[in-house]
Structure 1
Amino acid sequence: MELSVGYVFAWKVRKARLVAGRTSGEVDRALEGGMDRLHGLVSRKLGQDPALAQVEEEAGEGQASLSDDTRQWLALSLNNSARKDTEFAAALKAVVGEVQAAERAGAASPSRTR
C-alpha cells in the first residue's frame, strides 16, 4: 500500500504543478498514463474519503512529501478497501506494477541519462 500512497501523492503534486504552470521537461506518457489510471482507481473507490482530500491539500501546498499522519491515513483507507474488495486489491496491485515498470523504463531511457 505504501507505493500506492506515494504514487497518489505524486499524481496530485503533478496536477497541482500543471495547474500552476510549473511542469518541467518532457512528459513520460506511460508513467503519466499509469498514474492517471491509479488516481482514477483510487478516487472511484475512496470517493470523498477525507484522507484523499488531505492528500490533495498537502500536494497543493507544494510539500515535497506527505506528512506521516496523512500517509498512514491514506494507507489505512486503501488497506481497508482492498481487504473488503479483492477486485480493487488486484486492480491496485496491477496499476502500481504498471507505474513501477514505466518509472524504471523512463529512468533507463537515453533521454533521461543525459
Structure 2
Amino acid sequence: MSPQLSIDINNELASLSPTPFEPYIFRVDGLLRRENELAYEPEILAIGPYHHGKANLEMMEKHKIRYLQMYLVRTNESSVDRFVNAMQDLEERTRKCYAESIVLEKDAFV
C-alpha cells in the first residue's frame, strides 16, 4: 500500500463527523425475508415495536402485564410509576437504537 493512500484514508477518517449513537436493531431485509417469511414472524412473543399490535401476539401481551404484576409484588412496589418514568427518560435514546423510524406515539412506545 502506498503511503499516500494511507494518508488519504486517514484524512477521510478524520473528516467524518462523530456519530453519537449508531442504530443496531434492524428489520430483516425484504429479500431475505421472502425466502422464508414465517422464519421471521414471531408466533407467540414479540419484544419491541416491530410487531406491536399484531392480533396473534395479543395473548402474550396480557401475560406480560401479569408478569409485571408479579414482579411488582415480588419487589414490594406499589406502582409502576418508577418504571414508567425510567422508560420515558430512555425513550428517545431507545428509538435511536432502531435503524428505521418507529411510528408509535411516545406512550405506546414506552
Task: With the length of structure 1 as denominator, give the TM-score of the two structures.
Answer: 0.31
Greater Cα radius of gyration, structure 1 or 2 = 2
Q: Which structure features the higher share of helix residues?
A: 1
Task: With the length of structure 2 as denominator, give the TM-score of the two structures.
Answer: 0.31
